[in-house]
């Protein structure tokens, strides 16, 4: 697996207007997004598959890894770069067997134990949150800055912080040792996704 740049990790939200959705992703990549994860909680399999193919055209054009949330079948069907699973999805070790050793595997983990288990079971990176209150995932456990640091320090694989991160609070995560910021609304809902991405990346890199 090639070295993964997780600095600005975009997670998509629901795609009602596909044209706008795809344009937002492309503009975000132009602004510096380094990884794209498609999250479609309610889409039919065929719709998800077709949408993922369209997104893959964009990510391939810019050489940005495409990760599919939860759906190992979709990830394999479109030959995405990887898959991201949560604690209530397909177990990490089983997912690793299904996707093979060369695909990227991310796991959501809110505690040190979950993170260490995921690393042992074959995860390439961890997503930890929610670090701030978030409207996009109301069932996400909340994680303090101290807990986030503990997760980062407990494993050798990189950690991205997720949950309610925006331009106003991203700098609060500076000294936690995270490998990147994972955002949804701060980019997907922005009037200018390219500019929003540039600004978030600047905050993270400064």
Let me know if 39 is a catalytic residue: yes
Q: Tokens at residue 102, please? A: 């060369």
CA distances from 132 to 115, 151, 155, 187, 204 (A): 19, 16, 22, 16, 16
**Cis amide prior to 130 (ω within 30 degrees):** yes
Let me know if 137 is a catalytic residue: yes
Helix (H, G, I), strand (E, B) or coil at 34: coil
Contact 92, 85 (CB under 8 A): yes
Interatomic CA distance for residues 17 and 165, integer angstroms: 24
Active-site residue (options: 7, 108, 182, 197): 108
**How many other C-beta atoms lie within 10 A of the C-beta of residue 168?**
10
Active-site residue (options: 56, 103, 117, 137): 137
Closest CA to 4 of 193, 157, 173: 157
Q: Tokens at residue 95, please? A: 């997912």
Let me know if 3 is a catalytic residue: no
Interatomic CA distance for residues 195 and 115, integer angstroms: 33
Burial class of 118 by CB neighbour count within 10 A (0 to 12, 13 to 18, 19+) = buried
Residue numbers annotated as active site: 39, 108, 137
């Amino acid at each position: 697996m090639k070295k993964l740049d997780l600095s600005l990790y975009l997670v998509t939200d629901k795609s009602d207007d596909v044209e706008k959705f795809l344009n937002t992703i492309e503009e975000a990549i132009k602004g510096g997004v380094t990884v794209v994860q498609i999250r479609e909680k309610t889409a039919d399999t065929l719709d998800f598959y077709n949408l993922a193919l369209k997104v893959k055209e964009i990510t391939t054009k810019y050489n940005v890894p495409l990760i599919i949330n939860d759906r190992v079948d979709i990830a394999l069907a479109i030959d995405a770069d990887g898959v991201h699973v949560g604690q209530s999805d397909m177990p990490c070790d089983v997912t690793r067997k299904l996707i093979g050793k060369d695909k990227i595997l991310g796991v959501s983990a809110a505690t040190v134990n979950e993170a260490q288990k995921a690393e042992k079971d074959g995860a390439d990176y961890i997503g930890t949150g929610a670090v701030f209150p978030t409207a996009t995932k109301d069932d996400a456990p909340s994680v303090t800055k101290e807990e986030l640091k503990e997760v980062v320090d407990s494993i050798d694989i990189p950690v991205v912080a997720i949950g309610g991160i925006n331009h106003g609070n991203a700098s609060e995560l500076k000294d936690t040792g995270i490998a990147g910021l994972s955002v949804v609304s701060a980019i997907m809902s922005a009037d200018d996704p390219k500019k929003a991405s540039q600004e978030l990346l600047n905050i993270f890199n400064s």
